[in-house]
Amino acid sequence: MTKKVTVKLFAGLMKYLPVNNTKSHGFDYKIATDTTVGFLIDDLKLPRDSIHIVLLNGVYLDVDSRETTQLKDADIVGFWPAVAGG
């Protein structure tokens, strides 16, 4: 059975969205059984130093947890860079 997660990229990370997906923040991505959030970041070639916030199904993951938290089918993972403004 194929597993997939929904990946959502926001702000400056949106430039890493698949080419045909510019109208949406998210896309489905196939994963292996033991895929961690950290592996997903590397597999998508997202710049780790630009990722500030990661939410897994709406729950914040700190930097250390990202390396060991395994993804499950239908999870939603959101990535945000540091954002400034006021």
pLDDT of residue 73: 97
Q: Does a structural domain hold residue 20?
A: yes
Q: What is the pTM of this model?
A: 0.91
The CATH number covering residue 34 comes to 3.10.20.30
- pLDDT(61) > 80: yes
Q: Does a structural domain hold residue 10?
A: yes
Q: Does a structural domain hold residue 73?
A: yes
Q: Does a structural domain hold residue 57?
A: yes
Q: Does a structural domain hold residue 37?
A: yes
pLDDT of residue 86: 60
Strand 76-80 to strand 3-9: parallel, antiparallel, or no bridges (unpaired)? Answer: parallel
pLDDT of residue 25: 85
Query: Per-residue pLDDT tens for 9-26?
Result: 999 999 999 877 656 789
Range of the domain at 55: 3-80
Strand, helix or coil for residue 58: coil
Using alpha carbons only, what angle is made at residue 35 by residues 20 and 51, rounded to the nearest 5 degrees? 60
Mean of the pLDDT values across residues 28-36? 95
In angstroms, the CA 72 to CA 76 distance is 9
Number of domains, the chain: 1
Q: Does a structural domain hold residue 86?
A: no
